[in-house]
Amino acid sequence: MRLKMTWKILIIMLVDTLLMVSSYALALLIRFDFHWSQIPMTYVRSWAPCLIVQLIVTAIVFFWRRMYHYIWRTVNAHDVIRMCVSVVLAFALSNLCCVFLSLPLPASVWVMVFVFQLCGLVGERCALRLWSVVQYSYGRGNKGEERIMLIGAGESGRMLSRELRSSPQVKGRLCCVIDDNPQLHGKYLDGVRIVGGRDQIEDAAKRYDITQILFAIPTIQQEEKAAILNICKMTGCRLRVLPGLYQLLNGEVSLSAVKDVQVEDLLGRTPVQLNKAVVSDFLEDKVVMVTGGGGSIGSELCRQIATCHPRRLIILDIYENNAYDIQQELKRQYGTRLDLRVEICSIRDKKRVYQIFEQYHPDVVFHAAAHKHVPLMEDCPDEAIKNNIFGTYHVVRAAEKYGVKKFVIISTDKAVNPTNLMGATKRFCEMILQSRRGSSTEFCAVRFGNVLGSNGSVIPLFKRQIANGGPVTITDKRIIRYFMTIPEAAMLVLEAGAMAKQSQIFVLDMGQPVKILTLAENLIRLSGLEPYKDIEIKEIGLRPGEKLYEELLMQSEHLLTTENEKIFVEEQQVIPQRDIMCGLISLDNFVSAQRPKDELIALMRYLVPTFRDPDEVNREAVERLEGAHEKQAVRA
């Protein structure tokens, strides 16, 4: 490698030498009308020494200024300026040496030599870049080459445009630019026309035969971003996006930072922001335990907790593969800076749970371990009760016994007026916490909607179905759901834990709900396919216990705001511990006696007063929706 570099420098020095010799010869010829015989011998004798002096001085200056180390294919304006400074400096020093050595040449010759050398020595280093620009701008392009539309003519867009032109790895051509600033319309970004604003996206995609769209406005509000991307997805082009402002701060505005558009980019809601200072103060130098720490939410909790410098992080999970994955990830990232312990344990094993709490004495517990799949829990209600209810109770009692200061349980919107057994068990878990008001441990619950990309969520299912050629299956085309990302869910849990007081339930303002049908259509389009044409969407009917519409809040007179405008607190009525204990005893008797499924569900309806029949809830929801449509039609 070093030998190759040496040869490269020697070749560049040889070309520089030929250019400098040529510059002196051409300057003298021009000065004396291209007649060698008319050049005075004094100048001829001065020419050779002047040339030798300049070659030596230029080589020294160029080595010092690293003129032999530029990557010619990617030179930019800053590089050209530095090159010009190097040439001027070398010429000035060599000229001073010639004056000191009394080597006369006409002033006009010196001026011409300087101009020729400046153009030649800088020009040769820009030649490859210039040739690549000419090829890019006027070449016909290769068959199958990506034809790219760039959205955003700001600094990020300019940087991506330059990389598209200069990188030999990029097999694509920038054909047009979109920007909402009307003052830029009709102008050019690096030779590519800015054709208009977002209203021109679909037309420009057809006119320029676009195959890929790059979104390069990292500072835009999420609502605006979603609006533009929703237009883009109608073009059928592949969408890629520069993730966010942090890319600018880290200097990562490059094609390597660009990612494919994800469904969460189209949700149209500003992501919840974590109050890092509050959470860091809450977790720093604490012993923190995460049950279910290998799951989707649990593992993200572990990642974010690790950034807050806990004294020790304990991951508790029954599934060793997931626990191993997050353990290795955190070890790679933090090494010995994070005191990480992993315990394989079922929360249903009371003795083992108590043993772990006695060993570590955690300060904070995030309880994410639970069975969460609605249809499976409808078929296996006894398992849902054993794991979600009794498992939670074991962890709650262990937390109280071993002095845990704060306990945060991960709940769900399905616990609000539940219509299925899984939701009812999660509501009963909330009730367990609400019954512990006199405890020295502060208990709280955090509710949120469906988590995009989590294990068993609808997005991975849709992606698999699309990859297999369809059909994409949805239970009902009317279904709507609230969505959030995995990092958002973890952020909410951490911040709620930091601000929580006894027996509070935290909920997130998740914006407008999303139709599952729309989600499926968007995902198909983001895959470069056309819904109903390339991929069929099939309705298969509601599953047992499934609602058409989810609710995030129970009916309550007390809904309080917090310092985070996206997080609210719902205060619940006091639930006597006696009622909870009676319920636990009844459940234990039913499960131990292996009572039939319908009897278990009937008992849960008694213990959770808000547990309702799904058919009744869905029928009421449809009637409300039809009534609203009728009123709207009358007004129209």
Return the pLDDT at 285. 92
The residue that leads in pLDDT, 345 or 165, is: 345
Return the pLDDT at 247. 42
Return the pLDDT at 538. 87
The CA distance from 203 to 556, in Å, is: 50
What domains are defined for the chain? 2-137 (no CATH), 146-261 (3.40.50.720), 276-450+484-509+551-619 (3.40.50.720)
Residue 415 has pLDDT above 70, yes or no: yes
Picking from 417, 489, 416, the residue whose alpha carbon sits closest to that of residue 457 is 489
Using a pLDDT cut of 70, give the percent of the chain over it.
78
Cis preceding linkage at 471, omega within 30 = yes
**Comparing 71-85, 216-230, 379-393, 501-515, which segment has the lowest mean pLDDT?**
71-85
Which residue matches tokens 């009917």? 541
Residues 184-235 pLDDT 10s: 888 888 778 888 998 899 899 888 888 888 888 877 777 788 788 888 878 8
pLDDT band at 567 (very low <50, low <70, confident <90, very high): confident
List the structure tokens of 400.
């109280």
Which residue matches tokens 């508790």? 316
Return the pLDDT at 245. 40
pLDDT band at 268 (very low <50, low <70, confident <90, very high): low
414 assigned to active site: yes
pLDDT band at 166 (very low <50, low <70, confident <90, very high): low
Rounded to the nearest integer, the mean pLDDT of the chain is 79
Return the pLDDT at 365. 95
Phi-psi region of 141 (alpha: psi -120 to 50; beta: other; left: phi over 0): left
391, 369 in Cβ contact below 8 A? yes
pLDDT band at 248 (very low <50, low <70, confident <90, very high): very low
Return the pLDDT at 76. 65
Residues 343-398 pLDDT 10s: 999 999 999 999 999 999 999 999 999 998 888 898 889 999 999 999 999 999 99
Using a pLDDT cut of 90, give the percent of the chain over it.
22
Residues 308-347 pLDDT 10s: 899 999 999 999 999 999 999 999 999 889 999 999 999 9
Out of 414, 426, 547, 566, the active site residue is: 414
The residue that leads in pLDDT, 556 or 307, is: 307
Return the pLDDT at 589. 93
Residue 75 has pLDDT above 70, yes or no: no
Return the pLDDT at 617. 67
List the structure tokens of 442.
């502060």
Residues 416-475 pLDDT 10s: 888 889 999 999 999 998 888 888 899 988 887 777 666 666 777 887 888 888 888 888
H/E element holding 195? strand 192-196
Residue 634 has pLDDT above 60, yes or no: no
Over residues 79-97, mean pLDDT: 80
- Determine phi and psi for 498, rounding to 5 degrees: -70, -35
The CA distance from 547 to 615, in Å, is: 8
